[in-house]
Amino acid sequence: DTRHDWWRGATIYQIYPRSFMDANQDGIGDLAGITEKLEHVASLGVDAIWLSPFFTSPMDDFGYDVADYRDVDPMFGSLDDFRALVDRAHSLGLRVIIDQVLSHSSDRHAWFRESRQDRTNPKADWYVWADPQPDGTPPNNWMAAFSGRAWTFDARRRQYYLHNFLPSQPDLNFHHPDVQQAQLDNLGFWLELGVDGFRFDVVNYYFHDRDLTDNPPMPRERIQPGNPQSYQFQRHNIEQPENLAYLERIRALLDEYPGSTTVGEIAGNDPLPTMAAYTQGEKRLHMAYTFDLLDSTGDARELHGVLARFAELGDDTWPCWALSNHDVVRSATSWGEERALLALTVLCSLRGSLCLYQGEELGLPEAELAYKDLQDPFGINLWPEVKGRDGCRTPMVWDDGANGGFCPEDIAPWLPVDERHRPLAVGRQDPAPESPLNRVRQLLQLRADSDTLRQGDQQLIPPEALPEDVFGVIRTHGERRLLCLAHLGRGGAAGIALDGLLPDTAGWQPRDLPGMASPDLAGTRLSLRPGQVTW
Ligand code: TEU
Ligand code: CA
């Protein structure tokens, strides 16, 4: 596939390097391990991989704190290992998208070490420094995502520096032209090395309000207990208008590498509307990614609500939807274990590109971890109010050995393998034709083979036109039309009159969907059972 817009409607498989495969047997996944297992990824029929960060890092936020943007952390291997990975991926027909965490660096990055020396060094303004208030308190009320204030006092400069995440993740000052250029140069380094695109971490966090205006408080009913950033609207610490022009500079660089792509993670209180500004007009990002479906539990009204708000943004907005990633509870748990395939079938029905997270193809539920096993600072800081992110980061399971084949049995992996995961290992599911893994392969193949699903327009069926708990969309591509209906309830069967939804449905036949019983169809009257999807 040599089309430059291969990414439209593509399926992207997210790999969390620390937890995919440990080749050098130290209990932590690595690049050589990923290369070894790429054949499994290719067997799913996906278009690309997205690698979470593997760059030099003290790993305070497991790589989302970068100390050198142009090198591989020794824990994960070397640049040569990365080149080998890219070559292997390309030879298997997989494109390679890498994570870029431009908004903040590690406090151990050379830039920050220099910046914090004094107020006059050449990098003095590369980060966001501000004087204390007269009483010594932080410059304003901004909160950090993983607990406490977004400001930490530095004794040497006698100033505070901004961090939207951990204190060891200082926020770069994108108002400084040299910072903008330095990060563009870092992107160029990886494009020259042959990557096919970038996933931009918190792409709406690059700029802050230079007046440091206080954020307004959140109404009580919208506060999520324990989640510090939910106590206020993130209005001035992120999401500034200057970002649009910067994204245009990024796009101009990417356009020099035909076929490359970008997907931006948009976080914050209300990320949906930003998707439009960032993707419309083919001049900024290619795809926008939010938490809206990641936070869903598979309720028909909730799903319709998100997609209806998205539809208001206009057809020119290109989403990348996901139900699972390294930050949220796995979809097999948030939707319910018996509904893992249902969740993916609904996902595959949607207009947009898709991300699948490692282990989602196996139906892995969220791992249960004891407090003593926790590694994620977010989970540790806010325990027990917040569940943390370790439960979705436990090792991938390749066989049913004690450590799931991720690392040898006589060493301890960095997070324990959940007992319930081992029977779901790749090696167990691969030979069984009706296993969840093989169902997912068939499902992704149906999606890959259908221009209607990958590229078609999407019309949401209003809930009023459907029985309660049924979610529906109509996809249209040229003369072709595909109706997708999903019963997301847990009660009884639902009857649907197809001719009430579309004028000419006489003679329509449901497609056989992997792992789904064919629904009863009498004339144009369809009956769906809970958990059933039909196309
Ligand atoms: O996540 C951004 C983000 O919104 C999360 O911090 C989210 O609020 C949190 O995970 C609670 O669900 C990105 C990365 O995906 C995440 O892993 C990083 O920790 C974070 O940015 C900082 O780089
Ligand atoms: Ca290793």
The catalytic residue among 1, 211, 221, 256 is 256
Six token digits for residue 229: 């950033």
Rg of the chain taking only CA atoms, in angstroms? 23
Interhelix angle for 272-279 vs 300-311, to 10°? 40
CA distances from 307 to 59, 84, 413 (A): 36, 40, 39
The reply to whether ligand 1 has any atom less than 6 angstroms from the CB of 73 is: no
Using the 8-state DSSP alphabet, how is residue 217 labeled? B
pLDDT (tens digit per residue) in 367-408:
999 999 999 999 999 899 888 999 999 999 999 999 999 999
Cis check: omega of the bond before 503, within 30 degrees of 0: no
Please indicate whether residue 201 is annotated as part of the active site. yes
Are 295 and 289 in contact, with CB atoms under 8 Å apart?
A: no
Q: Whose CA is nearest to atom 7 of ligand 1?
A: 327
Using the 8-state DSSP alphabet, how is residue 342 labeled? H
Give kind and range of the element (H or E) at residue 56. strand 55-56
Please give the pLDDT value at position 1: 54
CA 341 to chain CA centroid, Å, is 19
Least Cα distance to 448 among 342, 356, 516, 362 occurs for 356
Q: Which of 201, 295, 324, 375 to mutate to test the pocket of ligand 1 (most atoms within 8 A of CB)?
A: 201
Cβ neighbour number for residue 188 with a 10 Å cutoff: 13
Least Cα distance to 165 among 98, 55, 66, 247 occurs for 66
Q: Which of 16, 18, 64, 147 to mutate to test the pocket of ligand 1 (most atoms within 8 A of CB)?
A: 64
Are 495 and 489 in contact, with CB atoms under 8 Å apart?
A: no
The reply to whether ligand 1 has any atom less than 6 angstroms from the CB of 392 is: no
Contacts of 465 (CB under 8 A, 6+ apart): 472, 500, 501
Domains of the chain: 11-105+177-446 (3.20.20.80), 456-534 (2.60.40.1180)
Are 114 and 188 in contact, with CB atoms under 8 Å apart?
A: no
Mind giving me the DSSP string for 315-326?
Answer: TT--BEEES--T
Q: What is the ipTM of this complex?
A: 0.97
CA distances from 129 to 137, 157, 202, 240, 478 (A): 14, 9, 20, 18, 55
- Ligand nearest to the Cα of 18, by number: 2
Percent share of the chain, pLDDT over 90: 94
The reply to whether ligand 1 has any atom less than 6 angstroms from the CB of 64 is: yes
* pTM greater than the 0.90 cutoff: yes
Q: Whose CA is nearest to atom 9 of ligand 1?
A: 327
pLDDT (tens digit per residue) in 275-323:
999 999 999 999 999 999 999 999 999 999 999 999 999 989 999 999 9
Amino acid in position 384? P
Dmax of the chain from CA atoms? Answer: 79
Spatial separation of the C-alpha atoms in residues 21 and 14, rounded to whole Å: 14
Q: In what order do the strands lie in the sheet with 494-497?
A: 494-497, 525-528, 520-522
Please give the pLDDT value at position 483: 96
Amino acid in position 2? T
Interhelix angle for 242-254 vs 177-192, to 10°? 30
The reply to whether ligand 1 has any atom less than 6 angstroms from the CB of 23 is: no
Residue ranges with CB less than 5 Å from ion ligand 2: 22, 24, 26, 28, 30
Spatial separation of the C-alpha atoms in residues 190 and 196, rounded to whole Å: 9
64 CA closest ligand 1 atom index = 23
Least Cα distance to 251 among 276, 282, 280, 277 occurs for 282
In three-state secondary structure terms, 161 is strand
The reply to whether ligand 1 has any atom less than 6 angstroms from the CB of 145 is: yes
The reply to whether ligand 1 has any atom less than 6 angstroms from the CB of 59 is: no
Spatial separation of the C-alpha atoms in residues 172 and 243, rounded to whole Å: 13
Mind giving me the DSSP string for 72-99?
Answer: E-TTT--HHHHHHHHHHHHHTT-EEEEE
Amino acid in position 402? A
CA of 203 to the centre of ligand 1 (A): 11
Please give the pLDDT value at position 203: 98
CA of 416 to the centre of ligand 2 (A): 15
The torsion angles phi and psi of 332, rounded to 5 degrees, stand at -65, -20
What residues in the chain have per-residue pLDDT under 50? none
Spatial separation of the C-alpha atoms in residues 82 and 192, rounded to whole Å: 13
Per 3-state DSSP, the chain is made up of helix, strand and coil in percentages (nearest 5) of 30, 20, 50
Six token digits for residue 488: 């997301």
Please give the pLDDT value at position 2: 65
